Each structure stands twice: as structure tokens, then as C-alpha cells.
Structure 1
């Protein structure tokens, strides 16, 4: 019985569903323990894994393919890196801002962005290759229809009549939102989004399917409750609140994750996330006991 479906985010291509669950599952129960006596069994949780889609084919060398600033494509890739740079500079005084790089040609601006981000606490320890690869995964999701459909199809395979909660992180929140909109027959689900980029204007929001109307996104029909949790220092979740664009029914919650602002584990262990999940599971159990609900 799958009560909870998990959807991971970017930069997970070298892992797998069981590897990710080893991190997510205990953190999920830790968050629940903060606000309730409820715990979920391992067999009640399923991980939607799609990281292998982004795993590059065999090549010489080890790790991430050799990517550098000149490989960053104009458009979504470069603009996303520049947005991350601007956000990081606003959050950390030691990160030089992009204002002095406005007149530089794109490759030089991207290199400046990568250099600055490498000194931020958010991207500390990440190579340029990994930062570029992360931005590329965002671009590929929106630019490659078959890849987009494949990811959403994998999510759909895990949804059953017993599913009560979808918990999505990072790019996974985009896939979850679009899959929910595309499947109005799924009913009475709770959506919990963590570190979501859904409200990033001009880069993500306008690229959603279905597209926004008059500056507002469609509410996903199967969703009865939606809680969005964002860390103030999460650079990937550039816009922390979703309710202005997705409707007042979204409950936005700001939290503090410490140094690893975008890491899914502190998101899951927060009381705000635990409370949203506990409420959904409690309501679902009550509905199961009372068929009239």
C-alpha cells in the first residue's frame, strides 16, 4: 500500500530509488515525530526515481562530463545560473554581486557567476561541472518533451487508490505539479513541495504545462491541500512563496535548514513539513473509516 509518493530533484543521476529512500525515509519519520505520534512503515512509501534519465552515456574520465562556462547554453541555462548568483549575493555579503558584470559577454558573465557561486555557502564544495549540470537538467526538462513525459509517467506509475500524499523536492515539484494537472482523475491528494522553483518568473513559471492564464497558474484538480516549504537561504527556490501565483489555498511556510539550505533531509525533518504530512494522513485515515466523507 503506497500512502506517500516521493519525487526527488536535480543532481541525483548517480543514485537510485533505494539509495534515495535510505536518506528520505528516516528524515520523513523524524519530521512526523515532531508534531504527532504517527510514523509510516517502509512499505507505505515509494520513491519516484528519474535521475538515470540525466545520467550521461559512458565517456572518458570520471564523474560529471567535462563542462565549462563556454558550454553553458544561452537562455534558461545561463539565466538560471545568473539568477542563482544574484540570489546568493543578496544572502551572503562575501559573494560578489553581478552588477559589475552586466556589460560582459555571456560566457564571461557565466564564468563570473560560477566563480562567485563557488564561494557561497550554498554551493560550497560543488564543482563548476556540477553547477552547470544542475542548470542543464532544468533546461532539458523544459526543452525535451519526451524526457518531460517520461519523468511524469514514472510518477504516474506510483499513484494508486491508496496514495494520500505526494512530497516533491526541487525540480521534482515541477514534474509533480504538471502530472497532477494532467491527471484530474486522481482524487483527494495532498501535495507538499520542498525548495520549489515553480514561481520563478520568466524561467520556470511561464514554461509550465498548462500555461498560466492572466499571470495565475491552474490549480491541480486532484489536490485538496497544498503546503509549500522553503528555506530563506535556498537559492534554487528563488521565490519562496507560491500562493501569489498558484492561489491562496497554498500554505507557504518559511523555515531554516542551516548551511544546507536546499538539502531535502532538513526539509523533511522540519516541524512544518511533518505537520502537513501528519494532517494529510490523519484525514485520509478518517475518510477510510467513514465512507460517507
Structure 2
């Protein structure tokens, strides 16, 4: 992991790790051989703290997801290509757009920047985001959004955000604290992999959001 990656991931972790998590990690560290040397000490401590809230490797899963997000946010030439590919999949017949995890960041960025021609976007009525990390300030800063700036969609697109409180990538929270336009819906994706795209797509709120706009 590069120094830039470690700095971004650690910053994102600091925004989702609670004081109780940190206190628990410090107590655990005092009872063991210390912080593992897989990553810089600051990042390792934060991962240990996040694991207190999300056992079974939650911290490691968060690190992997944030490295992917950072790759999109800070590789502008790649980001342009990705948005172009996603934008080509949206045309006049598209009524619902679904974005999972990093996909939610890409779709929101695409809509926010207005890179889809109005005639191609004319049929879109609903955006559904699932397991979205957009609630993390570091991610929004990577989209060149100022702290405190609310997220908005163009036109009259309805935004439904589906999240599982046990989803490590979201920090366990929704998006209505950073947007007055989003409707958060809490779901239970089960114990094994709450961040699973397939599990999100199988939930009733996602099915309703798609079916209601495709009739």
C-alpha cells in the first residue's frame, strides 16, 4: 500500500470509527504483542478498532473497499473512462439506475457533473444506491465537495438509498445526513456478507424501487 493510499484509508476510518471502538482497541493492544505491522501503525490501530464493531475482518474489508474508491477518485484519466462507459449504458429507455458500493460513487459523480446528455437522461426517474460509502466525508472530498455541502441530483430524480447497519463499507449508516433528497431504507442482508450486491438486489425495497418505475 502506498503512503497516499494509507493516508486516505486512515482518514476515512477516522470518520467512521467511534471512541468506544478506539478505547476497546487500546485495551486489546495492551493485552497483546501490540499493533500488527501489516500497515502503518496509525492505520493498523484504526483497523483493530473497526474490527471491534465489525468482527470477522470488518476493518480489512473496509480497507480494500476504500482503496478501490480512492483509485477512482484520484486517477482522473481512469475516472473519465469509467464514467464514459457507465454513461453509455444510460439512454432514453432507462428509468432506474442502480449503483452498489463504488458504483454508487461513480453514478452520483456522473449525474452531478452533468456528463449525460439531457435527452439520454430524460427517462431516468429513480436512483437506487446500495451499500454506498458516500456518507464518508473523505469520499465526498475526493469528489471535490466541500465539507457540509449537501448532495443533490439533477431534475426530479427520486433517490432511494438502501443500507444494512452491519455493512462495513457504509460505516453502518445511511445518507440522509448528507442530503435532504435521499430516502434511506434500512435492510437486513444477513450475517455472512451484509455488503453483498446480490443480497442488496434481493431486498424488497430495491425490488419495489425498480418495479414501480419500470411499469
Change in Cα spacing, 1:207 to 1:72, as seen in structure 2 (3 Å) is closer
Q: Per-residue CA shift, 1:196-217, capped at 9, x if unaligned?
A: 111212x1123325x3586322
Please give the alpha-carbon distance, in whole angstroms, between the structure 1 residues aligned to 2:117 and 2:147.
18
Q: Per-residue CA shift, 1:201-238, capped at 9, x if unaligned?
A: 2x1123325x3586322x22155211100001112112
Please give the alpha-carbon distance, in whole angstroms, between the structure 1 residues aligned to 2:159 and 2:166.
22
Pick the structure with greater CA Rg: 1
Please give the alpha-carbon distance, in whole angstroms, between the structure 2 residues aligned to 1:241 and 1:118.
20
Equivalent of 2:170 in 208, 212, 237: 237
Correspondence for 1:46: none
1:54-203 matches, within 5 Å, as 73-83=5-15, 86=17, 97-98=24-25, 107-114=40-47, 120-121=54-55, 123=57, 132-181=63-112, 182=114, 183=116, 185=118, 186-189=121-124, 190-201=126-137, 203=138
Deviation, 1:158, is 0.7
Please give the alpha-carbon distance, in whole angstroms, between the structure 2 residues aligned to 1:222 and 1:272.
23
Equivalent of 2:150 in 216, 236, 256: 216
Q: Per-residue CA shift, 1:36-80, capped at 9, x if unaligned?
A: xxxxxxxxxxxxxxxxxxxxxxxxxxxxxxx5xx86734312223
Q: Per-residue CA shift, 1:19-40, capped at 9, x if unaligned?
A: xxxxxxxxxxxxxxxxxxxxxx
Change in Cα spacing, 1:97 to 1:139, as seen in structure 2 (3 Å) is farther
1:6-17 matches, within 5 Å, as none
- Point out where structure 1 has 5 or more consecutive residues left out of the alignment: 1-66, 283-293
- Point out where structure 2 has 5 or more consecutive residues left out of the alignment: 30-34
1:207 equivalent in alignment to 2:138: no
Kindly report the root-mean-square deviation, in angstroms, between the aligned alpha carbons of the 2 structures. Answer: 3.3
- Of Structure 1 and Structure 2, the greater helix share is in 2
The structure 1 segments of at least 4 consecutive aligned residues displaced by more than 6 Å after TM superposition are none
Please give the alpha-carbon distance, in whole angstroms, between the structure 2 residues aligned to 1:113 and 1:177.
28
Change in Cα spacing, 1:234 to 1:122, as seen in structure 2 (3 Å) is farther
Q: Which has the higher contact order (CA 8 A, sep 6+)?
A: 1
